[in-house]
Structure 1
Amino acid sequence: MKILALDTSALVAAVAVMEDDRLLGEYMLNHRKTHSQQLIAMIKEVLGSLELAPKDIDVFAASTGPGSFTGLRIGVTTIKAMAYATGKPVVSVPTLDAIAYNIPMNSFAICPVMDARNNQVYTALYDWNENAQKRITEYMGIPVSELVELIKGMGKKVIFAGDAAKMHEEYFKKELGDDCMIAPGNLLLQRASSVAHIAYLKAVDNEVESSFDMVPFYLRKSQAEREYEKKLCKGC
C-alpha cells in the first residue's frame, strides 16, 4: 500500500510517501507560508524522485487540523483533488495526533501545542499504551495557563512539541520545572511522515473515506467569523 501524505497546517509544508510502514521519501520546508506556490512542486519532486505517478498511490492523506485556516484548505483541497482524479480513498489525520506521533514511545505524556494566538494553544494530551498512541483528553483550544494547570493535575512528566512549544518554553519550564521538556528540533514540528504512518494504520483498519467526505477540522471559528458574529449580536 502506497500512501501520499501532506501537512500544511502551519508554517511548515511537508510531503511524504510511504509503502506500508516503510518511509520512501519526505520533503519538508519551514520557510515562509507560501503553500499555494510550493506544495504542488514539492509533490512532483517527491513522486518524480521515487519514479511514481499519482495513479500509483493507493491512499491519499492530509493533516486536517486544527491549524492555519488557509493552509488547511490548501492541503485538504490538494489531496481531495488528487484522490478524486485517481479514484482512490483518503484518510483524514488530526494535526495534533500527527505532531504527537513524532515523539517515540516513552513514559512521558506527550503534549503537542500549536499557536492559537492571544496566549492560547490548540492542544491535547497523549500517552503511549501497549505500543500504540492514545489520546487522553479532548482536542482543545485553551489559554496556556489552563493547559499548565491541567498538566499539574495529571502528576506526570510531559514532552511538548509543536510550534508553540518554543514560544512558551520559558513559561512551561517556570511552572513545571523538571517535569517538562521540549522535543528536539528534528521532532518538534509537523512531519508528513507522521501523517502518513497514522494514515497507514487507519487504512489497515479500513478507516478510509471518499474524497468528498474529507473536510478541515478547525476546532474553533476563524477570527473573521467571530468578529462577524459580534457585529450581529450588537444589532440584536
Structure 2
Amino acid sequence: METSTQLGGVAVVIDGRVVAEESSLRQKSHTEIISPYVDECLKKASLKLEDIDAFAVGQGPGSFTGIRVAANAGKTFSYSFNKPLVTIDSLVLLAEQARGSSYPVLSIINAYKNMVYLGLFDMNGDEPTYVKGPEAIPVRDLSKHIDCDVTVVGDGWETYHEYFPEELAKKMHRPTEPRDYPEAKTLALMSEKRALSKQTLDWKSFIPLYIRASEAEETKKGILISPLK
C-alpha cells in the first residue's frame, strides 16, 4: 500500500509477479480508496487478508496525511494477522522505477513551499543505494547537490523545472516514459524480495520518514517560503 504522494495504490505480488493492482491519482482522498482497493486486489488475486505473508507500506517522504493512510492500514493488518511488515521509502521507489538509466538517478518529490525531498542514487546494486539524501532542500539550492549528469524522476521536476538554472538543466535527463510517483506495484515487488530475505519488522517498529516538520510546526517556528529566484 503506497499513499505518500498524489498517486495512491494497492498491489499484490506472488512469486515476482503482479497479480492485482489498483491506483488513483487523487480522484478521492487516499483514506477513501485504501479499503476498496485492498478488497478489489484481494478479489482479483483470489485471496483473503489472512493469506498474505507480508504487508508492505510506503514510508514517505511525502504527504504527512497520505503516509499515515497506508501506515495505519499496514500496521493494523500486521498486528491483526501476526504477519511481518516491510517499509520502503518513496525516493527509493522512484529510483527503482528508473532502473536501466545510464546515469545516477535523482528522485525529487514536491515538498511544497518551494522545496523538494531529494535522493541521489547509485543504481549498480540490486536496490538503489543512496549517494545523497534523503533530505528536504530549497529548490534554489538544488544546483549545490548535483555535480554530474543524472536521470531525474519525481513530481518535483514537473512542479519546478522551469526555475532550474540552465547549467543544472543540462545535467538532467528524463526517462522516455517517466514514472513520477512511487507506485504500489514497485513497492510490492521490492518488498517481496526483502521479505524472502527476512528484511522485515514488526508493526510497532514502523517509523514514517517525514524529514520535514508538519506545516503547523513550521508556521509556528516562522519558517518562510524561500524564493525560487
TM-score (norm 2): 0.89
| Partners of 1:94 and 1:137 in 2: CA distance | 14
Q: How far does the alpha carbon of each residue in 1:168-211 deviate from its partner, in whole angstroms, 9 at most, with x for none?
A: 22234733344312345562212111111221232233111111
2:194 equivalent to 1:202: yes
User: Which one of 93, 114, 118 corresponds to residue 109 of structure 2?
Assistant: 114
Letter in 2 for 1:169: H
- The 3-state SS of whatever aligns with 1:125 is strand
2:166 counterpart (174, 189, 192): 174
Match of 2:225 in 1: none
Instruction: Report what 1:234 is aligned to.
Output: none
SS in structure 2 opposite 1:129?
Answer: coil
2:45 corresponds to: 50
Q: Which amino acid aligns with 1:164?
A: G
| CA-based RMSD | 2.0
Structure 2, unaligned runs of 5 or more: 223-229
Offset at residue 51 of structure 1 (A)? 0.7
Q: Which residue of 1 aligns with 2:226?
A: none
> CA contact under 8 A between 2:96 and 2:127: conserved in structure 1?
no
**Residue of 126, 134, 141 corresponding to 2:129:** 134
Query: 2:62 touches 2:210 (CA, 8 Å); kept in 1?
Result: yes
Work out whether residues 153 and 178 of structure 2, in 8 Å CA contact, stay in contact via their aligned partners in 1: no
* CA apart distance, 1:21: 2.0
Distance in structure 1 (CA, Å) of the matches to 2:158 and 2:15: 33
Whether the 8 Å contact between 1:122 and 1:139 is mirrored in structure 2 is yes
Helix, strand or coil for the counterpart of 1:188?
coil
1:71 equivalent to 2:66? Answer: yes
* Mapping 1:19-168, distance limit 5 Å: 19-32=14-27, 34-151=29-146, 153=147, 155=148, 157-168=149-160
Closer/same/farther in 2, CA of residues 223 and 161 from structure 1, 3 Å limit = same
Q: Given residue 222 of structure 1, which amino acid in structure 2 is its aligned partner?
A: S
1-structure distance, mates of 2:205, 2:11: 22
Q: Report the counterpart of residue 11 of structure 1 in structure 2.
A: 6
Alpha-carbon distance in structure 1 between the residues aligned to 2:80 and 2:163:
47
Q: Evaluate the alpha carbon distance shift between residue 172 and residue 109 of structure 1 in structure 2; reply closer, same or farther with a 3 A threshold.
A: farther
CA change 1:160–1:118 in 2 (3 A) is same
- Unaligned 5+ segments in structure 1 are 1-5, 231-236
Distance 1:221 1:130 in 2: 32
The residue matched to 2:109 in structure 1 has which SS?
A: strand
Q: 1:187 is paired with a residue of what secondary structure?
A: coil
How far apart, CA to CA, are the structure 1 residues paired with 2:74 and 2:122?
29
- Structure 2 distance, partners of 1:150, 1:215, is 26
Kept in 2: contact 1:160–1:182 (CA 8 A): yes
